[in-house]
Amino acid sequence: MSTLFQPFATQLDFETGKLNPKGKVIIRHLSDMKGMYLDEGEFENQLKKNPLIYEVYNVVVPETMPHIQHCVTILHPGKVGKEYFMTKGHYHEVLDRAEIYFCLKGKGELLMQTKDGEFSSLEMVPGTVAYVAPEWAHRTVNTGEEPFVFFAAYPGDAGHDYGGIETEGFVKALVEQNDKPTYIENPRYIQAVK
């Protein structure tokens, strides 16, 4: 056998969205998202139960350019006050790296923004293949009643920059108004210092 990296397979369960083997698992509860939801009183209130917000199952490959990182995210349904459960969101550490989000189950919205404060969003339903273009931060929001499951792929060397988005916040927030997902300006948003 050569010294080359060897091919392998992972099995995704379309019912649960989980991978076998599980790979590198990231689990985020509400307590991992301090300062990210608009309604701080409701945030504190829900912390007692500290609900599971999302799970990410990452297939493990080297974080270098010849490779393709890939993972599946299960974003659970729920709200903090009027604001839907969401992921933290991030830029790529190597900023100009794209990503694909392929919705397998449930429904949601993909929120994206640039360091210049440009904002864009895409609706995701099963079969939607969303293209997060290079340089766009990305966050997903579950606007449905069941888990929102999507598969993602991105260049091996992209990395994650969560800190930028923690400082800035997202330009817009997604809340329920009149029983419908509605975008509102995020009063806490601060444009990135370039």
Instruction: Catalog residues that contact a second copy under the rule CB under 8 A.
Output: 1-2, 4-14, 19, 59, 61, 65-68, 70, 96-100, 102, 110, 112, 114, 116, 118, 120, 122-124, 126-136, 151, 153-156
Nearer to a second copy, 8 or 35 (CB): 8
Shortest spacing between CB 169 and a second copy, in angstroms = 19
Nearer to a second copy, 26 or 47 (CB): 26
Nearer to a second copy, 84 or 150 (CB): 150
Shortest spacing between CB 175 and a second copy, in angstroms = 22
Nearer to a second copy, 38 or 95 (CB): 95
Q: What three-state secondary structure class fits 113?
A: strand
Length of the chain in terms of residues written: 194
Nearer to a second copy, 128 or 186 (CB): 128
Sign of CA dihedral 96, 171, 29, 145: negative
Q: What three-state secondary structure class fits 117?
A: coil
**Terminal CA-to-CA distance of the chain, rounded, Å?**
48
CA distance 117 to 176: 23
- State how far Cα 61 lies from the chain centre: 20
Shortest spacing between CB 179 and a second copy, in angstroms = 24
Do the Cβ atoms of 50 and 115 come closer than 8 Å?
A: no
CA distance 77 to 172: 19
Shortest spacing between CB 133 and a second copy, in angstroms = 4
Shortest spacing between CB 32 and a second copy, in angstroms = 26
